[in-house]
Amino acid sequence: MLHGELPEPPLSAVPPEVSIPPTPLTPAPSAVPATASDLEGVFALTHDYDARNIAFNDEGAIVGATLDVMIERMTPHNALVDPAFQQIFMMTWRLFVSPSELVDALINRYDLPIPTLFSEEDLAAWTKRKAAPVKLRVANLIKTWLEIYWRTETDDAVLTQLSGFVRETVAAQFPAPAQRILEIIRARAISDDSVVSPRPVDRAMSVHVDKLREGPGIPNPIPVSPSDIPRPNITKTLFGLLKGKSYAAVTVTDFDVLELARQFTIMENKLYLEVKPDELLELGQSSKPSVNVKAISTLSTAITGWVTECILNEEDAKRRMNLVKFFIKLADVSSFSLNMFMILISRAALFVFEQFQYFPFYTCRFGLFNYFAS
């Protein structure tokens, strides 16, 4: 039968002298740890979360989990911390949880429930093998958050809660790590760092903080000696006009194309260095846009408008043609010599070309204009 209840066997089919022994409700003796040494093996294999609260893909990578599970995965008692998972979590947790909720989850992880049925020997083994490693790693996670991944704009609201927890709870078991954390909290409280991309509060840690934020696989920057830095390519006449602030006597074609491209690259590079990965991840997630990302976009828009205005304000056709040639060369040098692709100078030049249908239109393999660049 596929559905319904199984039929009752006739009483005559079961001999009265046969009795079915009940199923034992206690586990087999081999599955019950008898000593502290047996408990160590159990602690090495168990976790505190429900297996239904975490999901993996075919490769074994986590694709979904609750907040408590993710906190436990970053504070294991029986394995090393996965740096890649921790980095991804610390960069993205603000997308789905508030700072106060994260602090509550960390406190709950630190306050592991004490087993009530353990003997004194078993409890000592549990404290040594599980409770102490978990609590120390929670403290280290809080320290990492404060040192590397802190966001003043959103996270300062939980400084008081973190300070009280570390002072009253963590310091009792780990005085040295707690003292370090309290020092960072005090520095964060008086820090005037950027609300979007706070810098490390301790200059001693600044050497490795950026590498930790970027994660593994980022090559070290190539050292550059002062002799490798190119000298500015500018004429004495132009330098004198700029120094004397005689800007009305200066035209854009007075500048060397390569030197102007270098200056644009320096401007863009300063803004680019202020952008952090978490800012890019949060684009479009909040009503308040990232200040640093917006600054780069503003610079690009301003340069594009400036190029367009310079060309269209020139009434003489020959001078206008020379301006177009100049900006096309500038776009060529910027993009293919200095690898500065974000400032869309060439886009402005293309826009201008579309407005003048009588200009001959020739393109080369790089999308530039052979006719005017020759």
The confidence score (pLDDT) of residue 153 equals 82
Cβ 114 vs Cβ 123: under 8 Å: yes
Same domain, 190 and 242: no
* Rg (alpha carbons) of the chain, rounded to whole number: 33
How many whole angstroms from its chain centre is CA 213? 7
Quick: pLDDT tens for 72-131: 999 998 888 889 899 989 988 988 899 999 999 999 999 988 888 788 888 888 888 889
- CA 317, CA 241: separation in Å to the nearest integer? 27
Q: Is residue 174 part of a domain?
A: yes
Same domain, 184 and 248: no
Q: Is residue 21 part of a domain?
A: no
Cβ 332 vs Cβ 368: under 8 Å: yes
Same domain, 284 and 194: no
Q: Is residue 326 part of a domain?
A: yes
Hey, how many other C-beta atoms are within 10 angstroms of the C-beta on 33? 16
Residue 163 has pLDDT above 90, yes or no: yes
Please state, for a pLDDT cut of 90, what percent of the chain lies above it: 23
Same domain, 45 and 184: yes
What's the whole-number mean pLDDT along residues 45-54?
77
Same domain, 199 and 263: no
Same domain, 292 and 327: yes
- CA 80, CA 289: separation in Å to the nearest integer? 37
Using CA atoms, how far residue 171 sits from 144, 196, 223, in Å, is: 17, 30, 42
Q: Which domain holds residue 334?
A: 235-373
What's the whole-number mean pLDDT along residues 219-228?
64
Q: Which of 160, 184, 214 is the last residue of a domain?
A: 214
Q: Is residue 9 part of a domain?
A: no
Residue 343 has pLDDT above 60, yes or no: no
Same domain, 77 and 173: yes
Same domain, 95 and 239: no
**Of residues 362 and 277, which shows the higher confidence score?**
277
Q: Which of 24-38, 133-147, 167-181 has the lowest average pLDDT?
A: 24-38
Q: How many domains does the chain have?
A: 2
Same domain, 254 and 205: no
Same domain, 243 and 168: no
The CATH number linked to 298 is 1.10.840.10
- CA 226, CA 241: separation in Å to the nearest integer? 27
Hey, how many other C-beta atoms are within 10 angstroms of the C-beta on 124? 13
Residue 18 has pLDDT above 90, yes or no: no
Same domain, 270 and 176: no
The confidence score (pLDDT) of residue 154 equals 86
Q: Which of 185, 214, 243 is the last residue of a domain?
A: 214
Residue 220 has pLDDT above 70, yes or no: no
The confidence score (pLDDT) of residue 162 equals 94
The CATH number linked to 111 is 1.20.870.10
- CA 301, CA 81: separation in Å to the nearest integer? 44
Q: Is residue 58 part of a domain?
A: yes
Under the banding of pLDDT at 50, 70 and 90, the label for residue 136 is: very high
The per-residue pLDDT of the chain, averaged, comes to 74
- CA 255, CA 233: separation in Å to the nearest integer? 9
Find tokens 């003043």 and name the residue: 152
What's the whole-number mean pLDDT along residues 10-31?
42
Q: Is residue 28 part of a domain?
A: no
SS (H, E, C) the chain: CCCCCCCCCCHHHCCCCCCCCCCCCCCCHHHCCCCHHHHHHHHCCCCCCCHHHEEECCCCCEEEECHHHHHHHHCCCCCCCCHHHHHHHHHHHHHCCCHHHHHHHHHHHHCCCCCCCCCHHHHHHHHHHHHHHHHHHHHHHHHHHHHCCCCHHHHHHHHHHHHHHHHHHHHHHCHHHHHHHHHHHHHHHHCCCCCCCCCCCCHHHHHHHHHHHHCCCCCCCCCCCHHHCCCCCCCHHHHHHHHCCCHHHCCHHHCCHHHHHHHHHHHHHHHHHHCCHHHHHCCCCCCCCCHHHHHHHHHHHHHHHHHHHHHHCCCCHHHHHHHHHHHHHHHHHHHHHCCCCCCCHHHHHHHHHHHCCCCCCCCCCCCCCHHHHC
What's the whole-number mean pLDDT along residues 154-176?
93
Q: Is residue 29 part of a domain?
A: no
Helix axes 132-147, 83-92, angle to 10 degrees: 50
Same domain, 186 and 312: no
Q: Is residue 5 part of a domain?
A: no
Cβ 340 vs Cβ 264: under 8 Å: yes
Give me 365's structure tokens: 């393999």
How many whole angstroms from its chain centre is CA 280? 8
- CA 167, CA 146: separation in Å to the nearest integer? 15
- Compute the residue count for the chain: 374
